Chain A
Amino acid sequence: MASALIDAPKTAKRGEIITLRALVSHQMETGYRREISGAVIPRLIIHTFTCHYDGEEIFRADLFPAMAANPLIAFTTVATRSEPLVFRWLDDAGVAITETVQLVVTA
């Protein structure tokens, strides 16, 4: 049951630096752990996170097995236009989680 929480301002002034924080529900199974039987638990992590704004990719992160479960990624951008911010997480199973928030930019 995938879900995400986005901490982003609803409005910002044009040119203002805004902080975006994206929290997603994911087990981030490292691939290094074993079951009691000795069988390796296959790796299942989010390997790519992107954020698009106003038609452009403004942030991208490659994630690795050392990341904790339910990763929280925080970054900044400059508010330019009233456009949606689209956050996307892609995992090893090919599952994509997408979350969109609307940003209103005032002059």
Chain B
Amino acid sequence: MMFPERHSRNNIEPSSDFYLPAFFIAVLFAINLSPVPFMAVRAAEIPLAQRQSGFELMQAETQAMQRNDLSNPAMLWVREGEKLWDEKPGENGQSCVACHGVVTGMAGVAASYPTLDTASGRPIDLTGRIQQCRTDRQRASAWPRESRALLAMASLIGLQSRGMPIMPAPDPISKAGAARGKALFNQRVGQLNLSCAQCHDDNWGRKLGSATIPQGHPTGYPIYRLEWQGVGSLQRRLRNCLAGVRAEAFPFGADALIDLELFLMERAAGMTVETPAVRP
């Protein structure tokens, strides 16, 4: 398929209305007497020059695991995805390969998901699109969220975009979703009363327990996480974080999670896709 030209990083301007809210939030912090002193002043969004993948924060051994496709366990899922690509699961005997051709033709696809689903007029993530293909076009049953087969297919499609820049969907509906996602990212939630931004914008590179806080860019999903001993989706990661701040996690496939995904892709625009990544 045609792959659109890379965005210039200069095109991604920081929001002009940023400084006023930052001041406002700082005042709120002062009033609230935040229990965590180092968070008292809200830092800025991460400057483009300082953006980095969580890969940079990993130990050399874990980095080596990701670099070598024969030691990256996520490649086991990719292999399964390759088999599924040729399978005919539904009653109409349609395989992925019958419509899409060889899977290398999916290069660049995962780099711009979530995107607008024209049929429903709503943003859809890659997982949702795979499910849509299965139910509508293959007349097969949808795979359960986080099932091995679904993650295998998403890993295989994601791998085709490896090395390409993240290209957030440009349509107004996806942009509106990203704006809602940005609001969610900055909203304090849960019993710990923390927002995503407080860790991933303000305190990345510092420690949370023994773990280094990454900037939270979705460059490598689905990822093989050593802690999970398996492959998981970005939505699993987001639900993990929500549970971590003692908030009620949105269910898989919820609009809020897709909005967050849209915002994270916008925030990571131009960064390189690493799928399938390894993380600790």
A contact set with B: CB distance below 8 Å: 1, 3, 5-7, 21, 23, 25, 28, 68-70, 72
A1 near B148: Cβ-Cβ < 8 Å: yes
* Chain A min CB distance to B86 (Å): 14
A25 CA to B76 CA, complexed, in Å:
6
Asked if B90 lies at the interface with its beta carbon under 8 angstroms from chain A, I say no
What would 16 more interface pairs be, CB under 8 Å, given A1-B148, A69-B230?
A: A1-B80, A3-B76, A3-B80, A5-B70, A5-B71, A5-B75, A6-B70, A7-B71, A23-B70, A23-B71, A23-B73, A23-B76, A25-B73, A68-B229, A69-B229, A70-B76
Q: A21-B71, A23-B71, A70-B73 are in contact. Are A3 and B229 (CB under 8 A)?
A: no
B68 on the A face (CB < 8 A): yes
Chain B residues with CB below 8 A from A68, complex form: 226, 229
Which of A21, A25, A69 has the largest count of B CB atoms less than 10 A from its CB?
A25
Query: Can you report 12 A-B residue pairs in the complex whose CB atoms are below 8 A from each other?
Result: A3-B79, A5-B71, A5-B76, A7-B70, A21-B70, A21-B71, A25-B76, A28-B229, A68-B226, A69-B229, A70-B76, A72-B71
In the complex, chain A residues whose CB is within 8 Å of the CB of B73: 23, 25, 70, 72
Contacts of B148 in A (CB 8 A): 1
Q: A1-B148, A23-B73, A70-B229 are in contact. Are A7 and B80 (CB under 8 A)?
A: no
Per the CB 8 Å criterion, the residue count for chain B at the interface is 14
Nearest residue (CB) in A for B74 is A70
| Nearest CB in chain A: distance from B79 CB, A | 5
Q: How many angstroms between the C-alpha atoms of A100 and B230 in the bound complex?
A: 25
User: How far apart are the CA atoms of A54 and B226 in the complex, in Å?
Assistant: 35
CA distance A28 to B229 in the complex (A): 10
Chain B residues 61-101 with CB under 8 Å of chain A are 68-71, 73, 75-76, 79-80, 83
Q: Which chain B residue has the least Cβ–Cβ distance from A71?
A: B73
Closest CB in chain A relative to B93 CB, distance in Å: 22
B15 to chain A, nearest CB (A): 42
Minimum Cβ distance to chain B for residue A102 (Å): 16
Q: How far is the CA of A7 from the CA of B71 in the complex (A)?
A: 8
Nearest A-chain residue to B65, judged by Cβ: A72
Chain A residues with CB below 8 A from B71, complex form: 5, 7, 21, 23, 72
Q: Which 5 pairs show the lowest CB-CB distances between chains A and B?
A: A7-B70, A69-B229, A25-B76, A70-B73, A5-B70
- Distance between B151 CB and nearest chain A CB, rounded to angstroms: 12
Within 8 Å CB of B80, what residues of A?
Answer: 1, 3
Chain A contacts of B79 at CB under 8 A? Answer: 3, 5
B69 to chain A, nearest CB (A): 8
Q: Which residues of B contact A70 (CB under 8 A)?
A: 73, 76, 229-230
Quick one: CB contact mask for B222-239 with A, threshold 8 Å, 1 for yes? 000010011000000000
Residue of B nearest to A21 (CB): B71
Closest to A7 in B: B70
Beta-carbon contacts under 8 Å, B34-69 to A:
68-69
Residues of B within 8 A of A23 (CB): 70-71, 73, 76
A7–chain B nearest beta-carbon distance, Å: 4
Shortest distance from the beta carbon of A24 to any chain B beta carbon, whole Å: 8
What separation, in Å, do the CA atoms of A1 and B84 have in the docked complex? Answer: 11
Which residues from A are CB-within-8-Å of B69? 5
In the bound complex, CA of A6 to CA of B71 (Å): 8
How many angstroms between the C-alpha atoms of A70 and B69 in the bound complex? 14
Find the B residue at minimum CB distance from A28. B229
For B149, the closest partner residue in chain A by CB is: A1
**Shortest distance from the beta carbon of B168 to any chain A beta carbon, whole Å:** 32
